[in-house]
Structure 1
Amino acid sequence: MLSFRRALVAAAIFITILFFTTRSTSPAASSLAVEYPKTNSDPGSNPKESSQETVPPNDAVPPAGVNRHRPAPQGQQTMQDMSKMTLYDKLAYQFPYDVETKFPAYIWQTWKWTPAHGEFDFRDQEATWTEQHPGFIHEVITDQVAVNLIRLLYASVPEVLEAYDALPLPVLKADFFRYLILLARGGIYSDIDTYALRSAVDWIPAAVPRDTVGLVIGIEADPDRPDWKEWYSRRIQFCQWTIQAKAGHPVLREIVRQITNRTLERKKDGSLKGLNNKSVIEFTGPALWTDVIFDYFNDERFFDMSHSTGPIDWNNFTGMETSRRVGDVVVLPITSFSPGVEQMGAKDYDDPMAFVKHDFEGTWKPESERHIGEQTG
């Protein structure tokens, strides 16, 4: 038998070997090579992209540069003093982004009750998500669970918690929650009144490697009419009732930063009570979501702008009928998340590009504002 001293020495040697072994095999963070799309009048020159049916060749050019969303770790990382960081840097540190990871197999939905409750009215819709995604963790989060979950995930970023608690309307909290849960955990968020028509496995074109995509979004509105401002907030509007993301994506990081800062500013000056259903679209809804996405497409931190012939804007997406890739974002046509609306070029539910059906219940809105054709979208 070993003496106590020999056992102690052996244990010390084992721990030392284990430390250096695990330290030397720490995975380095991936880098992101992005493609900067040209305007429709400037054809691209990448033959590989030209062969992809769902990535139009007049929108793609060869990879133009490498941008790192987080630095590669060098052995053991030291703890940083987050109190001295900006909110954006806190979020980046707490929820790092690695485009090469898999999309997390989560489906997040929110409602007043869970499917086990007798008053849950969305069993048909909710069931389609489970049926189309076997093996996924599918959670319907109630308001109280959402509060506790956010407090757990964002305990180290107290200003986010303060902003979430300060929002005066349930719909504002519901909007904020979807960004917060996807930033922290990734996966799919979809409104409770949606049907999954096809698996999310089919959302990204087969020709696009999944380790180059971190965000999948769809077009909500493409109102090609002179009076579009009377009906929608943006000429091209991206929907946020269904989003797929990898944790830490910069778009989610930025929208959380903006909502947090704006909320705390309005809390300080006493103007939060001025927010109403009409202002939701701009404050937390699809208008802000659309603005943040377009800002990302034109952000020099993530894209090499030297090959650009102009900013990416609504002109690059109007009238599109197939998927379009911009860097690490796949944009789906209006048919994908809004089939059957019979306007703006959306096709029917049986179209190959129809992935999600939205009932547009809009249960937070007045009855007169629950249709897609209304101003609130």
Structure 2
Amino acid sequence: METWSGRLAFSPKKVPLSAAPAPSATTLSSLTSALTRTGPLAPRLGALCGEALTSSALAPWRASLHRDSIVPVGPPPPFLRVFLPLWCFWIARPQFFPVSSHHVGVVFLIALSYAAHLHVAIMLLSSRLQSAAGLFTLSTLCFIGILYHVWSLSDRPDYEPLLPSAFATPPGPLIPRKIWYKVGPKGLSAKMKNWTASCLEANPHYEYEFMDDMTGDVYVVTNFAHRPDIVEHYLYLTVPILKADMLRYLLLWNEGGIWSDLDVSCEGVPIDDWIPTEHKAQAGLVVGWEFDVGWGSHPLRQFTSWTIMSKPRSPHIWQVVENIMNGLKAKVKEHNVTIAQLDRPMIGDIVDFTGPRRLTRSIFQSLEKNMTIPRDTVYNLLKPKLVGDVLIMPGYSFAASSNKYGNMTDKANLNPKLVKHHYAGSWKNDKGGEL
């Protein structure tokens, strides 16, 4: 007896409906069980899928086909019994099927979807039955859904694991000529306008963008929808400085450019001249010491976070993001609260949690996955030093007032002073910033 999965044939021979074996429920049971454990939408889809494929649900349709003697009668083919639950699972939990990592699987699913759709279309053309028309509509929707998911996910990059190289910043042009700022609810003060103008007017060929709370939220939702944990944590955070710190790292990772706090002024050197010519091609990330020279043999050294330069997709910036995410999850567990309930006292030291110390630790953590960095080779710098693809600027470049040079060297031999931080400290209150 030719089955439903066999070749379409116009045969006068009628097959009794009772002779058609019912499809096995083994695969459906296991898949439906898996769907039930994955989320609130998945169980409904799994149940619908299982009901649609049972013999009782298909009985009227098979009976109608039997009456017309047009299409060979039999159970649904095994590939369709597996394909439909997988498709429902993909609709419910698309993050489990990143297209960029599973091209072969996606092509396979498309092929199965197209085959099922074509088969039903032929059945519809061969039959005048309303049930076939309904099945064709369902098949069409399934096929469109597959194509939509492929289109919407095909250009999404992989994030794990991090690129396994100290020189892993993707090759490309120089650091983008764009300056990023974040404005609080109170807007720009007169001083902030002057400080930011000192950078923008000295670099007229640079793009710039002032983000606020709303545009920051939209940016994160739009560009990190593939990481719902990042979106959820960012949107529900109520401590302003935490959101501002996360935003700076997400912006730099996604688009690159120069992050500058609003209380930073430029000291007259064009940004194009900040990186020495011999390092421009290799530098994927540029940071500067905040505390380095003149603090004794064991100072608490850290990079400044008020000025950071980066190419897009720096693995070192992504390490910062992942470490902050892990820190937030740990705090939620420690205090038995939700992200929205985390407050300033629960976080502790902001500088350590999302600020300069977190930035410093994460960069060295990322670099040292692939190389050993003797600390004495990157301390007490008077000139920029390239470590992997990270260019470390001497303290005099980004934080001249925080480093005690004294008479130890002729200042004429130092790297130029590039920016000045005015320490407005708008985040230093019990709320962690402007509300």
SS at match of 2:184: coil
SS at match of 1:172: helix
- Choose the corresponding residue for 1:295, options 365, 369, 385: 365
Deviations 1:276-312 (A, max 9, x none): 5752112111111111111122112xxxx4xxxxx31
Consecutive unaligned residues in structure 1, runs of 5 or more: 1-70, 306-310, 368-377
Of the structure 1 ranges 178-187 and 147-156, higher mean CA displacement relative to structure 2 is found in 147-156
Separation in structure 2 between the aligned mates of residue 356 and residue 113 of structure 1, nearest angstrom: 25
Q: By how many angstroms is 1:213 displaced?
A: 1.6
Q: How does 1:1-377 map to 2 (within 5 A)?
A: 88-89=159-160, 97-112=169-184, 121-197=191-267, 198-208=269-279, 210-222=280-292, 224-225=294-295, 234=300, 236-269=301-334, 270=336, 272-273=342-343, 275=345, 278-300=348-370, 305=371, 311-341=372-402, 343=404, 352-366=415-429
Q: Is the 8 A contact 1:340 1:348 kept in 2?
A: no
Q: What one-letter code is carried by the residue in structure 1 that aligns with 2:216?
A: A
Of the structure 1 ranges 330-339 and 104-113, higher mean CA displacement relative to structure 2 is found in 104-113
Q: By how many angstroms is 1:192 displaced?
A: 0.4
Q: What one-letter code is carried by the residue in structure 1 that aligns with 2:416?
A: M
Deviations 1:215-272 (A, max 9, x none): 111001126546966xxxx3x2111110000111001111111112321343345263
Q: What one-letter code is carried by the residue in structure 2 that aligns with 1:253?
A: W
Q: Is the 8 A contact 1:239 1:286 kept in 2?
A: yes
Q: Is the 8 A contact 2:289 2:394 kept in 1?
A: yes
Change (3 A) 1:325 1:241: same
Identify, as 1 or 2, the structure richer in helix: 2
Separation in structure 1 between the aligned mates of residue 374 and residue 233 of structure 2, nearest angstrom: 30
Deviations 1:298-344 (A, max 9, x none): 112xxxx4xxxxx3153222211101011211110000001244626
Deviations 1:73-126 (A, max 9, x none): x9xx986998xx99942887xxx9523322111100112269xx6855411111
Q: By how many angstroms is 1:201 displaced?
A: 1.1
Change (3 A) 1:342 1:250: closer
Separation in structure 1 between the aligned mates of residue 413 and residue 283 of structure 2, nearest angstrom: 26
Deviations 1:25-68 (A, max 9, x none): xxxxxxxxxxxxxxxxxxxxxxxxxxxxxxxxxxxxxxxxxxxx
CA RMSD of aligned residues (A): 3.7
Change (3 A) 1:285 1:80: farther
Of the structure 1 ranges 269-278 and 189-198, higher mean CA displacement relative to structure 2 is found in 269-278
Q: Is the 8 A contact 1:324 1:331 kept in 2?
A: yes
Separation in structure 2 between the aligned mates of residue 278 and residue 219 of structure 1, nearest angstrom: 23
SS at match of 1:132: coil
TM-score after normalising by structure 1: 0.63
Change (3 A) 1:190 1:348: farther
Change (3 A) 1:105 1:118: closer
Identity of aligned residues (%): 28
SS at match of 1:89: coil
Separation in structure 2 between the aligned mates of residue 219 and residue 342 of structure 1, nearest angstrom: 9
Consecutive unaligned residues in structure 2, runs of 5 or more: 1-99, 108-149, 431-435
Q: What one-letter code is carried by the residue in structure 2 that aligns with 1:293?
A: I
Separation in structure 1 between the aligned mates of residue 410 and residue 319 of structure 2, nearest angstrom: 32
Count of residues in Structure 1 that have an aligned counterpart in Structure 2: 272
